[in-house]
Amino acid sequence: MKKVVHFILKLVGKLALVGLIAFVVTFTIYMTNAENKLIYYVVRPLLNKHYDAQVRDRRI
């Protein structure tokens, strides 16, 4: 019984730690607007370069 309780407590502790880390990471990304900065300054310029290089057959 003691072992089971110990296991459950350990599991809950680990889950709480993972949850806390996930919260700190995602909340930091959210508050610093990091994902939008990455998209605006890095991802979209790269994608736009690719889109501009596409060759399209526009004949109707």
Partner 1 sequence: MKATDKLIKAIDKKLERFDPLWQAEHGVGGFRSRYYDKTGVAKYREWRGVKDTFYDYSQWLKNLGSMAMMVGSAPIPCLKGFWEYRWMGSYLGTFMFIDRLFEGYRGYELRIAHMNMHAIVQSLTKKIALVLANDRRFGGGPLTDRMVPMDEVLPPLFMAGFKDLIPVPLQTLPEFIICDIDQHIEPYYIDVAESYGLPADVCSRCAAETGVAIDDAFPIFGKAFLTTNMPCNASEATSMFQRRRIKLPDQPVTMAMIHNEPGAHPYSTGELKNAIAFIEKEYGVKYDWDALFERARHMNEQNLIELEKWDILKTPYSALAGIAETLYRLYSWASVNGQEDYFTETDRKVIKLMRKAYEEKYQPFQGKTRHRAFLWGPSAVYYTDFPTWVQNCWGINIVLNMDSTMGHNMISTDDPEQAIQDLALFSEKAVMRHHAVGGWDNVNAIWEWAKNFNCDMVLFNDNVACKGMNGVHALMEEQARELGFHFIFIEHDLEDSRTVSRQEMRKCVNNYMSVVLGEQPLDPTIVEFDDSAAY
- Please measure the distance between the N-terminal and C-terminal CA atoms of the chain and give it in whole angstroms: 76
Residue 27 near partner 1 by CB under 8 A: yes
Residue 47 near partner 1 by CB under 8 A: yes
Measured from the CB atom, the residue of 9 and 22 that comes closer to partner 1 is 22
What length is written for the chain? 60
How many angstroms separate the CA atoms of 30 and 37, rounded? Answer: 11
Cβ of residue 21: shortest distance to partner 1, in angstroms? 15
The residue ranges that bind partner 1 (CB under 8 A) are 26-27, 30-33, 35-37, 39-41, 43-44, 47-48, 50-51, 56-58, 60
